Structure 1
Amino acid sequence: MNSRVRIEIPEDSGFGLTHLPYCVFRPRGGEPRVGARVGESIIDLAVALDDPMFAQPSLNAFMTQGPQCWREVRERVHAAAESELPAAAVHSVQAVRVDLPIEVADYVDFYASLDHATAMGRIFRPDGEALLPNWRHLPVGYHGRSGTVVVSGTEITRPRGQTRTSAGTPEFGPSRRLDIEAELGFVVGAGSALGIPIRTEDFAEHVFGVALVNDWSARDIQGWEAQPLGPFLGKSFATSVSAWVTPLDALAAARIPLPAQDPEPLPYLTGSGAWGLDIDLRVDWNGQRVSTPPYRRMYWSPAQMLAHMTVNGASTRTGDLFASGTISGAERDERGSFMEMSWNGTEPIDLGDAKRTFLEDGDEVSITASAPAVGGGRLTLGEVRGRILPVR
């Protein structure tokens, strides 16, 4: 007789029945599968729902089905999690390996925090305007490199490149100003056709869910090369993303109005869908908490980011990932990058046993987050973590 089990959910779990984030996992000796997390367990959806769509190495086959399917599956997973399940459908989180949850199609990174943009402007233009003239009129962004998006836990090799010397000429070598950017990523599930912009009010018809992102940054490489075209090698060596994708529906209780936008954006960036989000992040450096960035202060919403990204007629595809850019608040302990926290290396950060400005080999950074949950309490977004390896 096939045994059956019921999942026990700790009372203070951030992975309760109103959350149900998705992942791709591998049971010991098994093939990759799509799962949903409940408490400290993963439900194998291919077994629990008897559906081969989930016997896949990514969420893409599921995400491409569109929002009606996403909601139906979420209801089915909720019902399954409340019942007894076949033992073969339930795995301990600690007993499996988690993989990159999506096959990343394109990657775009934005610069949507007013506090972050203002701080960076003051660092680099202390005698000028902190914000460039376009910043309050559009969500500034750049195209990244999808092939270097990696799952949380992947070790990050220190990048090499050209950096500027005191003489004003370049030298080649390992980055000495390696940094993080604490961000929130948005995963496109249902794509859009070439030539058809996505309206802000249609955001939830295209975006499947969210995941924490660390967009590692080599500030010295970036500072030399990003004149005048912007980020390239200083950003493209690695971007870490959580193994867990939280469905948009799970964030219903976290939705809040955006901060005031002045001047009022152009019509294609306005609309009825307010997508401010009340999400609290935490950055730990070698186990020491150094920052608690508040996403609620973000100036541009993800709906505006997506609308701007497609207003020129650019298409989107299942698996596209776009990220918010560094999430920062007004205070030093709310900043989402070490560049800001250390004020370009002039104000070392206290790690308890040491004072640092930028990352050294062997350092590990963990970014976690929580948000109000539907029905009360808080849900926990999946962690994104990475450790720095010496240059090869």
Structure 2
Amino acid sequence: MTTIDIPGDSPFGLANLPYGVFSTPGTAPRVGVRVTDWVVDLAQALGDEVFAAPSLNPFMAQGPRRWAEVRERVTELVSGRIPDGAVHPVGGVRMHLPFEVGDFVDFYASEHHAANLGRLFRPGSSPLMPNWRHLPVGYHGRAGTVVVSGTDVRRPCGQLKPPDADAPVFGPSRRLDIEAELGFVVGAGSAPGSPVRCDDFAAHVFGAVLVNDWSARDIQSWEYVPLGPFLGKSFATSVSAWVVPLAALEAARVKTPPQDPEPLPYLRENEPWGLDVELSVRWNGQEVSRPPYREMYWSPAQMLAHMTVNGAHVRTGDLYASGTISGPERDQRGAFIELTWNGREPLEVNGTPRGFLEDGDEVVITATAPAPGGGRIGFGEVRGRVLPALAGERD
């Protein structure tokens, strides 16, 4: 039997216990839970075959009562003696996409981010569109291009139209960007035709992940009128390997910023709440931003309620993300288009002025949140490196 020493200040201690899917050399992917710098094989440790699956979906589909029961069992297990062979060092395993993605929806829930982009692209006009404070704006993404942290991202190609050009050209994006976001993973689905109320959020959402929604700003700017983002966003979305369960985020709950005007009844919560999650964005090893999720205007529950109010149902494995997280200060902006003001105010990155991503660049997003009784819990990281566009796509 094996025991794990769990320091009280570990970001992956008993207050957290995030779930992921891992494999060791010569073995199939299966579900594990992270405890400090170790991964516990739950199929072996608990003798439960639902954790032998290569994704969290079968477990998540069992619903909140089962999630709570397993969390209690895991807490007891890792606090004591664990069967030999069920414990692996984090550095010795390969992490996989933790859940099979059903649908992917991306929102635009930060007032600071939306207003900054409005000032950039609609100077002299109201920075927010007329609908923005009335509903959580969002769009459907591509589930098939959601990848796990550590996956390289190839520079996308598409139609580009410089402002002074008469016609578009085809080629690699020259304005490749990131968006630091928080994503929510649906565990228990809903019935078709039945909207999910704000106050039923916890009956459906299993946990949260970090998200980097890679964005090709030049492709996006030419294509987005009138139907919104398409190829400029759909080429890759990276998520962290560990899903932090909702139960681990209770101590991170905070009040949302005031909403004016008061939202329509279906968007009202009995006790409105957001999350005090602090993100960090590192560009080639240099921290360039610390976006605060507590500043988000629209809450996780409001996004879920809006996404289903027309009768669209959610399914196990659905992922919806917050959109870029930005705060009121420059060093709290969660996208490079904001940080560099569309490239006009370059950042010094390791001594070099930079506006957008170049081939070989690496971006790492991390985050922590308050733990009960003090300390912080961790989300791990979402890491990605930019590969050059394929040679045949460059002309």
Partner residue, 1:386: 384
Pairs within 5 Å for 1:1-392: 4-165=1-162, 166-392=164-390
Shift of 1:17: 0.4
Q: Secondary structure of the residue that 1:104 maps to in structure 2? A: coil
TM-align CA RMSD: 0.7
Aligned partners of 1:298, 1:282: CA distance in 2, in Å?
A: 16
Q: Distance in 1 between matches of 2:36 and 2:138?
A: 36
Partner SS state of residue 221, structure 2:
helix
How far 1:273 sits from its partner (Å)?
A: 4.1
Give runs of ≥4 in structure 1 deviating > 4 Å: none
Cα deviation digits, residues 20-69 of structure 1 (max 9, x gap): 00000001211111000000001100011110000010000000000000
Q: Distance in 1 between matches of 2:177 and 2:349?
A: 15
What residue number does 2:393 align with? none
Q: Can you give the 5+ residue segments of structure 2 that lack an aligned partner in the other structure?
A: 391-395
Per-residue CA shift, 1:200-231, capped at 9, x if unaligned? 00001100000000000000000000011100
Structure 1 position 275, deviation (Å) = 2.8
Residue type of the alignment partner of 1:143: H
Q: Which runs of 5+ in 1 are unaligned?
A: none
CA distance in 2, matches of 1:352, 1:57: 40
Which whole-Å deviations, capped at 9, do the CAs of 1:139-194 have from their partners, x for residues lacking one? 00000000000000000000000010322310000000000000000000000111
Report how many aligned residue pairs link the two structures. Answer: 389
> Partners of 1:356 and 1:268 in 2: how far apart?
43
Asked whether the 8 Å contact 1:361–1:389 carries over to 2, the reply is: yes
Task: Report the secondary structure of 1:281's partner residue.
Answer: strand
Q: What TM-score, normalized to structure 1?
A: 0.98
Deviation of 1:352 after TM superposition, in Å, equals: 2.6
Contact 1:373 1:379 in 2 (8 A): yes
Q: Deviations over 1:365-388 (max 9, x none)?
A: 000000001232111112000000
Separation (CA, whole Å) in 1 of partners of 2:310 and 2:147:
29
Question: Following the alignment from structure 2 to structure 1, what is the Cα–Cα distance between the partners of residues 8 and 275?
Answer: 24
Deviates further, 10-19 or 139-148: 10-19
Q: Secondary structure at the match of 1:153?
A: coil
State the distance in 2 between where 1:267 and 1:88 align.
53
Q: Percent identity of the aligned residues? A: 67
Give the conservation status (yes or no) of the 8 Å contact 1:245–1:382: no
What letter matches 2:192 in structure 1? L
Residue type of the partner of 2:103? D
Question: For residues 125 and 87 of structure 1, what CA distance do their matches in structure 2 show?
Answer: 61
CA distance in 2, matches of 1:275, 1:202: 13
TM-score (structure 2 length as normaliser): 0.98
SS in 2 for 1:5: coil
